Amino acid sequence: MAFEGLAERLQGTLNKIRGKGKVSEADVKEMMREVRFALLEADVNFKVVKEFITSVKERAVGQEVLKSLTPGQQVIKVVNEELTALMGGEQSKIAVANKPPTIVMMAGLQGAGKTTTTAKLANHLRKKHNRKPLMVAADIYRPAAIKQLETLGKQLDIPVFSMGDQVSPVEITKNALAKAKEEHHDYVLIDTAGRLHVDEDLMKELDDIKALADPDEILLVVDAMTGQDAVNVAESFNERLGITGIVLTKLDGDTRGGAALSVKAVTGTPIKFAGMGEKVDALEPFYPDRMASRILGMGDVLTLIEKAQTNVDEAKAKELERKMRTNELTFDDFLEQLEQVKSMGPLDELLGMLPGAGKMKGMKNIQVDDKQLVHVEAIVKSMTKAEKQDPAIINSSRRRRIAKGSGTSVQEVNRLIKQFSEMKKMMKQMTGMQKGKGKKKGGFKLPFM
Partner 1 sequence: MNFFKKIKEKISSQTETVTEKFREGLTKTRDSFVGKMNDLVKNYRKVDEEFFEELEEILISADVGVHTVMELIDELKDEARTRNIREAHDIQPLITEKLAELLEGAEGETKLKVQEDGLTVILFVGVNGVGKTTTIGKMAHKFKQEGKKVLLAAGDTFRAGAIEQLEVWGQRVDVDVIKQQAGSDPAAVMFDALQAAKSRNADILLCDTAGRLQNKVNLMKELEKVKRVITREIPGAPHEVLLVLDATTGQNAMSQAKTFGQATDVSGIILTKLDGTAKGGIVLAIRHELDIPVKFVGLGEGMDDLQEFVPEQYVHGLFADVLDEAEAAEN
In the annotated binding site for GTP, the residues are 108-115, 191-195, 249-252
Query: 3-state class of 287 per DSSP?
Result: coil
Q: Does residue 8 belong to the site contacting partner 1 (CB under 8 A)?
A: no
**Least distance in Å: CB of 389 to partner 1?**
33
Per the annotation, binding residues are 108-115, 191-195, 249-252
**Least distance in Å: CB of 146 to partner 1?**
8
Chain length of the chain:
449
**∠378-350-381 over CA atoms, to 5°?**
10
> How far is the C-alpha of 249 from the C-alpha of 257, rounded, in Å?
10
Query: What is the largest distance, in Å, between two alpha-carbon atoms of the chain?
Result: 77
Stretch that binds partner 1, among 57-65, 70-78, 227-235, 399-407 (CB under 8 A): 227-235
Q: Which is nearer to partner 1, 88 or 352 (CB)?
A: 352
> How far is the C-alpha of 55 from the C-alpha of 207, rounded, in Å?
37
Q: Does residue 41 belong to the site contacting partner 1 (CB under 8 A)?
A: yes
> How far is the C-alpha of 166 from the C-alpha of 143, rounded, in Å?
12
Q: Tell me which of 259, 260, 317, 402 binds partner 1, using CB under 8 A.
A: 259
Long-range contacts, 385-389 (Cβ 8 Å, 24+):
387/331, 388/330, 388/331, 388/332, 388/335, 389/330, 389/331, 389/332
Stretch that binds partner 1, among 169-177, 211-219, 240-248, 366-374 (CB under 8 A): 366-374
Q: How close are the terminal C-alpha atoms of the chain, in Å?
A: 26
Q: Tell me which of 230, 295, 296, 298 binds partner 1, using CB under 8 A.
A: 230
Q: Does residue 358 belong to the site contacting partner 1 (CB under 8 A)?
A: no
Q: Does residue 352 belong to the site contacting partner 1 (CB under 8 A)?
A: yes
* DSSP assignment string, 261-277: HHHHHHH-PPEEEEE-S
Q: Tell me which of 58, 254, 319, 328 binds partner 1, using CB under 8 A.
A: 254
**Least distance in Å: CB of 150 to partner 1?**
8
**Least distance in Å: CB of 446 to partner 1?**
22
Q: Does residue 225 belong to the site contacting partner 1 (CB under 8 A)?
A: yes
Half-sphere exposure of 245 (CA within 13 A, CB side): 20
Nearest to 194 by CA among 153, 244, 249: 249
Q: Which is nearer to partner 1, 295 or 338 (CB)?
A: 295
Q: Does residue 363 belong to the site contacting partner 1 (CB under 8 A)?
A: no
Pairing of β 271-275 and β 283-285 = antiparallel
**Least distance in Å: CB of 35 to partner 1?**
12
Q: Tell me which of 361, 371, 437, 441 binds partner 1, using CB under 8 A.
A: 371
> How far is the C-alpha of 90 from the C-alpha of 359, rounded, in Å?
29
What is the spatial order of strands in the sheet that 245-249 belongs to? 160-161, 133-138, 187-192, 102-108, 217-223, 245-249, 271-275, 283-285
DSSP H helical segments within 88-168, as ranges? 114-129, 145-156
Q: Which is nearer to partner 1, 152 or 213 (CB)?
A: 152
CA dihedral 354, 359, 360, 364 (to 10 degrees): 90
Q: Which is nearer to partner 1, 133 or 215 (CB)?
A: 133
Q: Tell me which of 111, 242, 356, 432 binds partner 1, using CB under 8 A.
A: 111
Q: Which is nearer to partner 1, 100 or 346 (CB)?
A: 346
Q: Return the residues of window 151-170 that contact partner 1 according to CB under 8 A.
A: 151-152, 155
Q: Tell me which of 85, 144, 386, 393 binds partner 1, using CB under 8 A.
A: 144
Q: Where does this chain bind partner 1 (CB under 8 A)? A: 1-3, 37, 40-43, 45-46, 109-113, 142-152, 155, 196-198, 223, 225-230, 232-233, 250, 252-256, 258-259, 278, 346, 348-349, 352, 367-371
